[in-house]
Structures are given as structure tokens and as C-alpha cells.
């Protein structure tokens, strides 16, 4: 009986995994491997090339590849859930305002005054 419950549990877990993740894992692109690669990229270096007397010359020492390192740090933070992208949603222009007639405008202003008075009493 325990073997059946473990098998059922495994099947349930597999059904929750997205097809893309399942295929990536089958191809050896596991989360562990991807994180290791990002760790390597955090130390990425690049050899700079310069033009000297009309010839292209490579620099002696590899220099830190700052754009690659920065991107690796950003991706690692996202994987860890510590960097969340904030999105600003604006409704400006998406809601049509309907002009009020004089009577409705007067009622609205009276309601605003009533709310102000009540909020002063609460304070």
C-alpha cells in the first residue's frame, strides 16, 4: 500500500509541473544547473580590445564584464524571489467621466461636506 501512495503522490506532483519545466529537466536544464551557471556569470570577465597605431590590440588582463555580472545578479535575485518587478497601472483616460447637471452636482457637494464633517468628529 505505501508504494501505491508514493506513486500516486509522484504522479500528482508531476501533473502540477508545467510542461516547459518538465522538458527542461529532461534535457538536463535543471534549476540547480541554471543557478550554477548564473553563479559563474557573476564572476564573468572579458578581454578588452583597443586600437593602437592602426592595429587592434587585446588588453593584457581580462576585466570584469559588468553588464553580464549585473544581469546574473538580477536573475539570481528573481529566482530567489527577492526581486519583484513592480508594475504601475494607470486608469487615466480609460474611464469616461459624465458631466453632472446642477442638481446632481449640488448633491455631490453636499455629500462631500457631510463626509468632511463626520471625519472631523471621528478625529
Any domain includes 105: no
Domain range enclosing 69: 1-85
pLDDT in tens, 60-80: 889 999 999 999 999 888 888
Q: What is the mean pLDDT of residues 96-107?
A: 84
pLDDT at residue 95 in the model: 67
In order of 5, 8, 76, 115, 123, the CA distances from 25 in angstroms are: 24, 20, 19, 59, 60
Domains: count for the chain = 1
Is the pLDDT score of 115 beyond 80? yes
pTM score of the predicted model: 0.47
Amino acid at each position: 500500500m505505501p508504494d501505491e501512495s508514493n506513486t500516486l503522490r509522484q504522479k500528482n506532483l508531476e501533473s502540477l509541473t508545467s510542461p516547459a519545466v518538465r522538458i527542461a529537466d529532461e534535457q538536463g536544464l535543471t534549476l540547480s544547473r541554471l543557478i550554477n551557471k548564473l553563479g559563474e556569470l557573476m564572476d564573468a570577465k572579458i578581454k578588452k580590445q583597443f586600437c593602437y597605431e592602426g592595429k587592434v590590440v587585446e588588453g593584457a588582463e581580462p576585466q570584469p564584464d559588468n553588464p553580464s555580472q549585473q544581469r546574473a545578479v538580477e536573475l539570481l535575485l528573481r529566482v530567489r524571489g527577492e526581486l519583484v518587478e513592480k508594475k504601475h497601472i494607470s486608469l487615466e483616460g480609460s474611464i469616461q467621466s459624465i458631466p453632472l447637471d446642477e442638481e446632481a452636482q449640488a448633491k455631490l457637494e453636499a455629500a462631500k461636506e457631510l463626509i468632511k464633517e463626520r471625519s472631523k468628529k471621528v478625529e
